[in-house]
Amino acid sequence: MKVMIKERSMSTSAGLLRQGDVAVLPDEEIKKVMKLKPGAFEILPAEPVFKKAAPAKKTQKRARNANGTLKADDPSTPENEAWEDA
What is the spatial distance between Cα 41 and Cα 33, in angstroms, rounded to a whole number? 9
Residues 6+ apart with CB under 8 A from 27: 1
What is the spatial distance between Cα 22 and Cα 43, in angstroms, rounded to a whole number? 10
* pLDDT surpasses 80 at 83: yes
* pLDDT surpasses 90 at 67: yes
Q: In what helix (H) or strand (E) does residue 5 lie, and over which residues does it extend?
A: strand 2-5
Percent of the chain with pLDDT strictly greater than 70: 100
- Tell me the per-residue pLDDT of 40-50, one tens digit each, with 9 for 90 and over: 889 898 777 78
The ranges assigned to domains in the chain are 2-43
- Write the burial class of residue 41 (CB in 10 Å: 0-12 exposed, 13-18 middle, 19+ buried): buried
Read off the pTM.
0.52
Q: Up-side HSE of residue 76: CA atoms within 13 Å toward CB?
A: 0
